[in-house]
Amino acid sequence: MSRSYCINCQYPQSACVCHALKPVCSQTEVVVMQHPSEVGHAKNSVRLLKLVLPQTQIYVGETGEDFIELQHYLATQTKPVYVVYPNEHSQTVAKAGASEAVIIIVIDGTWRKAYRMLQLNPWLVDYPSLHLECADESQYVIRKAKRSDSLSTLEAVAHTLVALNPATDIAPIFAVFNTMVQHKLTAMPAQVRARYNSDKIKG
């Protein structure tokens, strides 16, 4: 029997997040460069980000040719553009002097795939990069990461928005995110759920 899906959030009816959905407005323009393997991933946080932050722009691809449209778009913009990715040249929002009225580019993929996307898109080095000063651990307990400081794309965007403007209310972003995470945990067999929770405690 086929599953019934919510026409609004596109999640199965049993995992609908609409009751927790409260769209957020921000002067910051969010652009996501999404690896193709993330598009259909059941735990894809960008899907949630688009629901709660409707103005988010998503470009799917891997090579420079895949992002020609994005490059042309950015070339026409007058706002400062920043790439949210930690490296030897990246700065905090405060040190970069960035304000809320900017465009931020985030790369959605595993660490390995995100790094490869950077290598395949050398045009990104034309823009200054930002890294986050975030003491909070990722709440993305349902998806494994090799690095202890890994954040989901949704979490990275939320923390960047509040760094750019401390008055930004990011609670709605995490409300819908946590709702999705809890749905996933609840649907797991008890022994699997216990393993995820114990791994989180160890971390």
What is the value of pTM for the model shown? Answer: 0.83
Has residue 136 got a pLDDT over 70?
A: no
Mean pLDDT check: name the lowest of 2-11, 141-150, 157-166.
141-150
181 — pLDDT class (breaks 50, 70, 90)? confident
Task: Give which of 165, 162, 168, 156 is closest to 86, Cα–Cα.
Answer: 156
Mean pLDDT (whole number) for 158-184: 90
Has residue 197 got a pLDDT over 70?
A: no
148 — pLDDT class (breaks 50, 70, 90)? very low
What separation in angstroms does the CA of 112 have from each of 1, 27, 72, 83? 37, 31, 26, 17
Mean pLDDT (whole number) for 175-181: 87
The contacts of residue 185 (CB under 8 Å, 6+ apart) are 141, 142, 193, 196, 197
134 — pLDDT class (breaks 50, 70, 90)? low
- pLDDT digit string, tens, across residues 12-21: 888 899 999 9
- pLDDT digit string, tens, across residues 93-131: 999 999 999 999 999 998 899 999 999 999 999 999 999
**pLDDT above 90 covers what percent of the chain?**
58
Task: Give which of 193, 83, 71, 170 is closest to 128, Cα–Cα.
Answer: 83
Does residue 143 or residue 75 have the better pLDDT? 75
- pLDDT digit string, tens, across residues 46-57: 999 999 999 999
